[in-house]
Amino acid sequence: MTTAKALTIAGSDSGGGAGIQADLKTFQELKVYGMSVITAITAQNTLGVDGVYPMMLEAIEKQLECIAVDLQPDALKTGMLFNSEIIELVANKMEQYKWKNLVVDPVMIAKGGANLLQQEATESMKRKLLPLATVLTPNIPEAEELTGISIRNMEERKEAAKRLSAMGVNYVIIKGGHGDEKEAVDLLFDGSHFSSLVAERIPTKNTHGTGCTFSAAITAALANGYSINDAFQLGKDFIHQAIKNDLHIGSGHGPTNHWA
Ligand code: PLP
């Protein structure tokens, strides 16, 4: 039996609910072998982010090289990349290694307000990384930041998806968690058609790491050979269950539940 392998290139969350930790837990649950390249260490818990420590570029490059010479990923995702130097390094290595099935979660600001991407790095993300992305999974504020469109309704959300698609992304998924619809509506644009998945909105404060978990589930599905529509459905179902079975851990915003 061949084992599907997925890689996450992201930041570490010492509290275990988001970032690398959420990604690896999700890969494990979805029966994919998980690998990680750590771009930054965050000191955080359910109360928020207390410190951000980017890794040396050399350390990031070495991690990528070690994976490339021995363990080709079937799919990979990026999460917190923090600055333009890290974005450019990751994009250059992606091109060099010709890795396929890249899911970009354009992590920018943590729910508590901490900056996980420096402001001036947005341009590098658009110019260098998005043209390599198979799937891009912004939430509404991230889609606004990347496109400059202020998103107040579904028409504007569709316009933003078209704008992101034109930046070179194959499939854009704008998540509806921050929307004001009664239900959580996630929108997929494949460059010519729109489709959406709708789920009941769950009232809970324990949503730490939802974006990481959703994009990791899609990455695991792509590693397992799913079509984009099936990967989207699996990601939506996985995150819905994870929020529904939220974990009451810590005294702040607890994590979603990675046990499937
Ligand atoms: N910390 C790290 C390292 C992350 O990658 C992310 C993901 O976006 C977060 C924190 C954000 O967590 P939250 O879901 O609470 O915004």
What is the mean predicted confidence (pLDDT) over 4-18?
Answer: 98
For the record, the structure tokens of 124 come out as 């590098």
Which ligand 1 atom is nearest residue 40's CA? Answer: 3
Neighbouring C-alpha atoms within 13 Å toward the C-beta of 214: 27
Give buried/exposed letters for 143-158 (b at 16+ CB in 10 A, else e): bbbbbebebeebebbe
- The reported pLDDT for the residue numbered 181 is 87
| pLDDT tens sequence across 193-237 | 999 999 999 999 999 999 999 999 999 999 999 999 999 999 999
| pLDDT tens sequence across 36-50 | 999 999 999 999 999
Residue partners of 155: CB distance under 8 A and separation at least 6: none
| CA 209 distance to own-chain centroid | 10
Distance 183 CA to ligand 1 centre (A): 23
- The reported pLDDT for the residue numbered 1 is 75
Mean pLDDT over the full length of the chain? 96
Distance 75 CA to ligand 1 centre (A): 21
Between CA 86 and CA 131, with CA 55 as vertex, the angle to 5 degrees is: 20
Distance 168 CA to ligand 1 centre (A): 25
Find the residues whose C-beta lies inside 6 A of ligand 1.
10-11, 13, 18-19, 42, 79-80, 107, 110-111, 116, 208-212
Is the pLDDT reported for residue 260 higher than 80?
Answer: no
Domains present along the chain, CATH in parentheses: 5-244 (3.40.1190.20)
Which ligand 1 atom is nearest residue 10's CA? Answer: 5
- The reported pLDDT for the residue numbered 56 is 98
Distance 109 CA to ligand 1 centre (A): 8
Select from 34, 28, 30, 31 the least CA-distant residue to 6.
34
| Rounded distance between C-alpha atoms, residue 249 and residue 241, angstroms | 17
Question: Ligand 1 pocket: which of 105, 107, 257 to mutate (most atoms <8 Å of CB)?
Answer: 107
| pLDDT tens sequence across 128-168 | 999 999 999 999 999 999 999 999 999 999 999 999 999 99
Which ligand 1 atom is nearest residue 19's CA? Answer: 5
C-beta separation of 228 from 199 below 8 A = no
Q: What is the dihedral of CA 62, 68, 74, 77, to 10 degrees?
A: 20
Which ligand 1 atom is nearest residue 207's CA? Answer: 14
Active-site annotation, residues:
175, 207, 209-212
Residue nearest to atom 5 of ligand 1 (CA): 19
Q: Look up the pTM and report it.
A: 0.97
